[in-house]
Structure 1
């Protein structure tokens, strides 16, 4: 998923609040350090109390804390450049009545694209609609979903991995993660490439 270029909603800025805005940035940095970059999400009771105490809309506070929780989604995006080659991987595993297949990889000079296919019995399809997919390889690599599609009992995803993986991915462990956006439950599938 390519990110749209951000355009400020206005060119107007009240310079008198510049120091306050910098303090907000400082507090966000301090929040990350104190929580060891794992803050969780404030209880709605806290958000309601803060909204009333500081005269801020609850939905605005919820949105701010949601953006802070999903900070990794704002990591600068690296677009693959200078295609080198296609590599067939063809590794599959069955877990929780799903077949996960890592089918192939496209190699670029600065990134790799991993292609993943998932098949399952389409009864109970609605249970799969609220799933958010991710992959994890190691701390060395940043992985983000580029695109996805699917239908009756099938999903297909493309993930961009930076920096580029080696051409021989034998022995590399890939963890496919799904988070249910309603129940907040995670499920992980480990596959050795």
Structure 2
């Protein structure tokens, strides 16, 4: 098939799925009306109970609830804007053999980019790849919207960055940072392909 050809994708939409979609839309409108722009997020014990009841991962449940809380996220057509300064944060936590550190924030005109470093505490243990299903949560005197901005790393180290809007204040004394389990609710595990055949070149 040439690259310019269009491939037909079958659409098996039916009345059963249509009825479910209509219920979801009605519930979304009802939730939006009740929340009235405020962020409503369930406590950990409720999310844990739902994970058991509905046989779902906690990161996927959090991802779904988080998406409901951002019905009208702000857009940044010109990106974060001009870099104004770098704000040191340097908050650290050690949990289950990993060191988590909120290192700093790049303070831009339209928002902040906050960086997280994650390191395996035991360097002697061989770790192939760390895949964090986490989202930064920022609590302060105002509401902050957080989006994943990037991730990279290898072995026992990874770095995450998050876009935070509006921009963080220059004083972070009244801010609380935490990482919460988070993944897209429809996300599937990545497919692993192992190439282990002998290849000869002639």
TM-score bracket for the superposition, by shorter chain length: 0.5 to 0.7
Which residue in 2 is equivalent to 1:133? 134
The Cα shift of 1:24 comes to 7.2
For the pair 1:93 / 2:96, whether they are aligned, the reply is no
| Deviation (angstroms), 1:29 | 1.1
> Offset of 1:82 from its aligned partner?
2.2
Tell me, yes or no, if structure 1 residue 163 matches structure 2 residue 166: yes
Q: Which secondary structure does the structure 1 equivalent of 2:134 belong to?
A: strand
2:29 alignment partner, SS class: helix
Is the alpha carbon distance of 1:26 and 1:70 closer, same or farther for their aligned partners in structure 2, counting shifts above 3 Å? same
After superposition, where does 1:173-192 map in structure 2 within 5 Å?
173-179=176-182
Q: Which residue of 1 aligns with 2:113?
A: 113
Structure 1 pair 81/95, CA: closer, same or farther in 2 (3 Å)? same
Higher relative contact order (CA 8 A, sep 6+): 2
TM-score (norm 1): 0.55
Shift of 1:93: 2.2
Which structure's residues are more often helix, by fraction? 1
Q: CA RMSD in A?
A: 4.0
Residues of 1 paired with 2:138 and 2:65: CA distance? 21
Residues 12-161 of structure 1 mapped to structure 2, 5 A cutoff? 25-26=25-26, 28-30=28-30, 43=54, 71-72=67-68, 75-78=73-76, 79-120=79-120, 121=122, 123=125, 125=127, 128-129=130-131, 131-138=132-139, 140-161=143-164
The structure-2 alpha-carbon separation of the partners of 1:70 and 1:83, relative to structure 1 and needing over 3 Å to count, comes to same
How far 1:91 moved relative to its partner?
2.6
SS at match of 1:137: strand
Give the paired residue count.
141
For normalisation by structure 2, the TM-score amounts to 0.53
